[in-house]
Structure formats: C-alpha cells, structure tokens
Amino acid sequence: MSYEIFDTIKAPHIILKQCHGAVVIRSNIGRSLRLKGDDYTVDPQDDQFTITSNGALKMYIPDGSTVTAADIAGELVIKNISGPIQLDEVHGDAVLKGVGSVQATAVHGSLTIKNGDGPLSISDVHGDAYLRNVGQVNVAHIHGDLAGRNINGDVNIDTAQGDVGLRTINGRVAINTCYRDVNLRNLGGQVNLAQVHGDVRLFGGLAHGDHTIVAQGDIVLRWPTNADLNLIVHADEITNDLPLENLVEKEGMLTGQLGDSGKTNLTLTARRAILRTKGSAHSQWRMDDEFDFNFDFNLDLATLGEQISAEVTEKVAQATAHFEEKFGPSFAQKIAQKVEEAAARAEKAAEKARRRAEQQMGADYMDRRRRTSAPPPPKAKEVSPEEQLKILQMVEKGLISPDEASILLDALEE
C-alpha cells in the first residue's frame, strides 16, 4: 500500500475524479494531504489536487478543504470536513459526519448525514436517507425512506417513494408527493403536504400561519388543547375527540376552533380523519393510551432508536479500538462501519415500531396500506449486534483471523 504526503494551503480543493473502491476522507491537522492506497495517481496544481484511484483509498485533508467526489464505485465516508462537499456519483452508501454544506447529485446506496452546519441539496438517492443535526434540506427524489431530526431550516421534498419521518424542524416543511406515510412531530414552521398516497400522522401544535395536508389514506391529528387552532377537515369519515368551539359537522366536512382561531389555520383533506387529544379514551385507542400511560410516548418511544444506536456503538467502540491496535486500521474500520450500519438499522426498526403503536385504527388498516402504498423494496438480511460481538470475541481469543472475521461478517449479510 502506497503512502504519500503533499504540502497544501489551508483550504485546498480536493477532486476525487474516479475511485473503483471504497473511500474514507477525514480531516488532517495542519496543511498537508496524506494518501493511502494501492493504485492511485495525483495531479497537483497550485491549490487543487486531482486524484484517480483504481482501488480503495484513504485521504487525510485539511479541515477547510473543498471536496468533489465525482465517480465512486464503492462506499464513501467523510468525517469532520467543514468545507463545501459535492458528491456527483456515489454507487455505494455515503456517510457524512461533521461536515459543512453538501450537494449530492446521485447516491445509489443509502445516505447518512449527521452534524452538518450548512444546507443540504440532494438530487437523487436510491436508498434510504438519515439526516440529523443539519441545516436546510432540499431533496428532489428519494427512492427509499427519509428520516430527519433536529433540522435547523426548511425541509423541501419533491418526491419520496418511501416513508418520511420528520422530528424537531424549526423551518417550513413542504412535500410535493409522498407514496407512503408521513410522520411529523415538533414542527416550527408552515406545513404543506400536497399529495400523500399513504397516511399522515401529526403530533403536537403548529406555528401560526396557514397549513395544508392532503392524503389519500388517513390523517391522524393529535393536538394539544391549549394550542390555537382554526380547523377545516374534508374527509369521508371523521372521528373527533377535540373540544372544538363553534363546531360545525356535516357530511364529509368539519370545522371548529381552539383558542385564537385566526392564528393557526389547518386544512386537512383525507379519506378518513381522526382528531384526538392525548387524553382521549375511546376504545379504539385503548392500546395507544396504555402506551401513553406507561412510557410517556413523546419521550421514551421517540428516543428508543437513539438509545439502541448509542448503546451498540458504545459497547463495540472499545473492541474496535483494541482491534485497530492489534490487527490494523483496515480491519477496525470495517468493523466500525458495520456497527454503524447495524445501529442505523436498529434505530429505523425502533421508529417503525413506534409508528405501529400509533396505527391501532381497525382491522382494515393493512388492506388500505396495500391499496395506497407502493411495493416496498426487498430487505437485506440484517446482522444483529450480538452476532457481530460474537465474531469480535472469536478474533480476540485467537479462534479466527481478522480476514476470516471479515468473511464471516460479509456472509451474514448475504
């Protein structure tokens, strides 16, 4: 494996023109570019470095660098780079942590972005997208699910083939078309869902202004009774548990107000609308109310995925550090990457479990889901954290080699 060091300026432009393997890009102390790989070329020109690699590549670059990744055949990992990042074509998964602004033209795997200071502009993601602690988000097309949390800015989504879950958004939320379900919680700006083919679940109040939600399935609204609301509902079937004032109900329509009716205007259009307060005790919601009583639905279930992710990462972090010292960074990096993927899957599973607890709506739910939802993509076999830990322990005890462990980990996911 070749190892080279190049002197640079404080914020060079790093262009990865093509790479036929996986890529890891990390920040480097000082003004130097460090490369590790088997077969690569570098073309240095003033403050710009153009790199082509025929295999896997590791890059350590100044924190403020501008990064352009043009054609990546494998997975891409970028950590702690505050300069602008452009992803033109990534054929594997992309994981970005501690980054600035990001523009992604095409990611053919899944996309994970955490702790980003700048805005995100995403054209096309063929897998799932996980966004946390980032700035403004603009997504043109995502083929999988999108989960966003703690977003400091607006969220604009043109087309989502899978589910969309958004939590703690301090800007506007606009979705043009979603072919599955949309789950919204703790929103600070205007909401406009133009066309949702599945169901919509909205938890909590909304900011003052006009909000519109249109769904072909159900809309479930859980609204705090002390929050202002001027409500207009159009639906074939309406179930109301809100203590609305000036209530008017007629076939296919309901109107009513809470508090200052001129501040928060919400219009809902759906096949069925279910309007609830948290303390409602209708029999069809009894199981859901038990969850409220036992767990505090707004906290425990909502953060269960994060807890699982944190615990898995913490338990394996010490082991991977030990293996890096004992067997080298390549093996340790592979283990760490698989742990991150397992933690993300666990968090996603917890989110889906939470949604199932909200879906106690009657026996016709699954039939309706099949009618209104696009067919889900085939799921890859999941590797449990327990299986990964067993393999790690076998390596530590000398029962198998690191190479054999890597083969086992790959085989478990096939």
pLDDT at residue 132 tops 60: yes
Contact 62, 80 (CB under 8 A): no
pLDDT tens readout for residues 24-59: 999 988 889 999 998 999 999 888 999 999 999 999
Task: Band the pLDDT of 293: cuts 50, 70, 90.
Answer: very low
Tell me, what's the pLDDT at 294?
A: 30
Rg (CA), the chain: 24
Check residues 392 and 32 and name the one with the higher pLDDT: 32
pLDDT at residue 381 tops 70: no
Tell me, what's the pLDDT at 295?
A: 31
pLDDT at residue 329 tops 60: no
Task: Band the pLDDT of 335: cuts 50, 70, 90.
Answer: low
Tell me, what's the pLDDT at 315?
A: 54
How far is 282 from 100, CA to CA, in rounded Å? 48
pLDDT tens readout for residues 243-257: 999 999 999 999 999
Mean pLDDT lowest among 119-123, 193-197, 293-297? 293-297
Mean pLDDT of the residues in the chain: 81
Chain centroid, CA 160 distance in Å: 13
Q: What residues does each domain of the chain span?
A: 199-280, 288-413
Q: What residues contact residue 78 under an 8 Å CB cut-off, 6+ apart?
A: 25, 26, 67, 85, 94, 95, 96, 97, 99
DSSP state of 398: T
Contact 249, 269 (CB under 8 A): no
- Would you tell me the crossing angle of helices 300-327 and 329-357 to the nearest 10 degrees? 170
Check residues 9 and 161 and name the one with the higher pLDDT: 161
Check residues 312 and 408 and name the one with the higher pLDDT: 408
